[in-house]
Structure formats: structure tokens, C-alpha cells
Amino acid sequence: MEAILLRQGAYCVNRCFRGFLKTSCVRFAATTATATFSKTRSEGLRIGVPKEMFPNEKRVSLTPNAVKTLTGKGFSLIVQAGAGVSAQYPDSDYVKAGAKLIESGAKDLYAQSDVVLKVRSPLIDKEVNLLNTNSTLISMVYPAQNKELVDKLAERKITLLALDCIPRISRAQAFDVLSSMANIAGYKAVIEAASHYSNFFAGQITAAGRIPPAKVLVVGGGVAGLSAVATARGLGATVRAFDTREAVREQVESLGAEFLTIQFKEAGEGGGGYAKEMSKEFLDAEMALFAKQAKEVDIIITSALIPGKPAPKLITKVSTSYTFVHAHRRVSGSPI
């Protein structure tokens, strides 16, 4: 199961990378918003695919199929040995696709790369200084939350194309790695919860009696939350969901789940359809709802997220400790 998810995740990410390199796109540059590649033609442009250094990161930025496509366009691909092994892509597949394998480590790969493709943002203490001055980095960076990283990249005159800054509009859907990864995260959250749940997820009717299905609460109705709702419903659970945006109700109910509300009127939708930060009064009412729901449900999955902000902590120690003591089989998910 994990291998399938990793390959799917790699496919979603590398599809975006291919699109970036083949067409013009919205760019976030560490130095200037109009920064461009130092080389305007694909011929001779060296693209590096390093092995991710972030702890427990098993994804890879390009699959062998994507490498084959890019080499066919005239790009030179160099891949660090072992970059795709954790995602079930052996080094031999990259070599067959036309990439040059770098076995001497990340330092040599970065030194030879005009463009570096990564899944995670570079680690400040390990990877930033490996990037060539005036080179290009294509990666998820979250600049609003990583100002120090952006400043370090600017000091090295790195052109940064932040995948997470692409607007969610129809013509940019091919580059939307946030939605594709969130979809996988929501699915995986339910699978992980089901593996910890000590009863039948879908319930059972036997000669000895009836076992009710699991009750699942999903907090947040974005891409990850809706994916979790759909997956839990598909496995036979009874699902409830909450979101600050009333517009999400129709989507939740169309998946067969119950949409929870609170007796407090406040618009929860910000710019671009995303959720926004709510008032203290709304949050207090929200927390009271979660404390009540925690006594009733078997599994809680949180997926609430506000762009450019840390994930909100919506399930308190008071709620979770009471939940665990009350029923002895609860799974509380961290923000996705």
C-alpha cells in the first residue's frame, strides 16, 4: 500500500515538474518576480534530481518516465544514486530513461546542475549552500512560513519557482501539486486510522448480534478533508465533517456525510475560496463542538489549514484525553 501511494505521489509531483519545464508558468523568485532561466534553450540545460534529505521523505521529484520525456526534449538529466529507490524506482530505470547517475553524492550533483528539482524545500544547514550561484530551484517551499530560507536563497542569487505558490485556477491545474498531495494525504489518513482501530470499520451483522460501523469526524473540508470523507464512507464508516465555510456543506453531503454546524454566524471563506482565520468567539464555539463530538466518535481526522499559516490545533489535550478514557479506541490525527 505504501509503495503504491509513493509511486502515485511521485507521479503527481513529477507531472507538475514536467509542465514547469515545458511551458511558461507563474513564478515566485527569491530575487525577483521576473527572474528567468539563465539558459533559454533546453539544449545543454542540466537538470538535477537529488535524493531528498528531509527525514522520512521517500518521494522523488521525477519518475523515469518523466526523465525520458525531458531527455527527448533535449534536456540533460542527472540523478543522484538512490534518489528514487524509496519510491520503488531503481537507479537502473533512470539510466535506461537516459539520465546520468551520480554516485559520488549530493555535492557533485548540485555542482553539475543548472536546475534542481526537489519535492521538499532545501534544508538550510545541509542543502542551500550546495546550490550553484545563479542556478534555479523548483520545489515546494512555503515562502510565507520560511522567510529565512528564502533570504538564504536570495543571497545565493537562486531563482526559486515555488510549486506551492501556484494559484488554484483552471489553467494551472496541471501544476497543482498541493491538491494532488492533499488528496493522497486524506486517503492515507483514513487508512492509517483504520489500521489502528480495534473493531470492524464498516460494522458487521452476525448471528451473535450487530457491530455498528466506526464513527469518523473529519475537521476541515478542503481537498484532504473531502478525500478523507470519501475514503471513510467508501470503507463503510459513518462520517461527520466540519468546516468554517458554509459552501463546503454541499460537497460533504454529496459524499454521504453529515455536515456539522455551530450556533455562531461568521463568514469563514477568505480570498480564493480558502478558509480564513476566525474570531475568538467562533473558535470557542468550535472547540466546544469538538469536545462534544470527541465523546461520540471513534476516529478524528484533522485537515484544517489556512494558507501561509501553521495548521491550527483544534483537538485539545482535554478533548483527546477524555476521548481515550471514555472509549479506549480513538485515533486523533495530526493536521495534514
Q: From the DSSP assignment, how many helices (H) and strands (E) are in the chain?
A: 10, 13
176 is an active site residue: yes
For residue 158, give the nearest of 135, 140, 130, 124 by alpha carbon.
135
Half-sphere exposure of 335 (CA within 13 A, CB side): 13
For residue 98, give the nearest of 118, 80, 114, 75 by alpha carbon.
75
114 is an active site residue: no
Alpha-carbon gap, residue 225 to 243, rounded angstroms: 9
DSSP one-letter string for 53-95:
-STT----S--HHHHHHHHHTT-EEEEETTTTGGGT--HHHHH
How many other β-carbons are positioned within 10 Å of the β-carbon of residue 87? 24
Sheet with 238-242, strands from edge to edge, namely 258-259, 238-242, 215-219, 299-302, 331-332
Alpha-carbon gap, residue 274 to 323, rounded angstroms: 30
Alpha-carbon gap, residue 120 to 129, rounded angstroms: 16
168 is an active site residue: yes
For residue 245, give the nearest of 226, 261, 263 by alpha carbon.
261
For residue 49, give the nearest of 145, 111, 118 by alpha carbon.
118
For residue 161, give the nearest of 172, 169, 170 by alpha carbon.
172
Identified catalytic residue from 274, 322, 329, 332: 274
Q: Which residues contact 136 (CB under 8 A, 6 or more apart)?
A: 37, 38, 114, 115, 116, 158, 159, 160, 161
Known catalytic residues are 168, 173, 176, 179, 274
